[in-house]
């Protein structure tokens, strides 16, 4: 999910109001247990947990868009993750996410 992608439900608003995009985006995971989600987030080494306030570090945060989304309706199922890509090495970030997903999969069974 990224508003700069034409397939995103927020694309029309984004294209009207913005001139460029950033490294902040969201993904929707298949539904997982709270324990599996915690295992994923806690296993990450390079991603901090939190919202981005314009910093350089990579951050990740599980979110529930239905509790605050107002521009478009939230009709997705599964766990939503907000991800901010910082200035760390891209290969290292990908490896960190892959390791987190493997840990989540091991907990999920």
Kindly give the pairing relationship between strand 48-49 and strand 59-63: parallel
Which two tokens mark 93?
A: 């970030």
Over the chain, what is the mean pLDDT?
A: 87
Per-residue pLDDT at 108: 85
CA nearest to 69, candidates 5, 15, 6, 1: 1
Which two tokens mark 36?
A: 């599996």
Per-residue pLDDT at 69: 63
What structural domains and CATH numbers belong to the chain? 23-108 (3.90.1150.10)
From residue 69, alpha-carbon distances to 3, 57, 72, 75 in Å are 14, 25, 7, 11
Per-residue pLDDT at 100: 97
Which parts of the chain sit beneath pLDDT 70?
68-70
Per-residue pLDDT at 61: 92
DSSP classification of residue 35: H
Identify whether the C-beta of residue 65 lies closer than 8 Å to the C-beta of residue 78. no
């Amino acid at each position: 999910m990224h508003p700069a992608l034409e397939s995103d439900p927020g694309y029309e608003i984004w294209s009207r109001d913005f001139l460029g995009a950033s490294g902040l985006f969201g993904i929707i995971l298949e539904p997982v247990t709270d324990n599996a989600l915690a295992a994923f987030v806690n296993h990450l080494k390079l991603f901090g947990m939190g919202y981005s306030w314009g910093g350089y570090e990579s951050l990740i945060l599980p979110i529930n868009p239905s509790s605050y989304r107002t521009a478009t309706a939230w009709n997705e199922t599964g766990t939503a993750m907000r991800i901010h890509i910082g200035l760390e090495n891209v290969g290292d970030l990908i490896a960190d996410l892959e390791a987190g997903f493997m840990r989540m999969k091991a907990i999920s069974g």
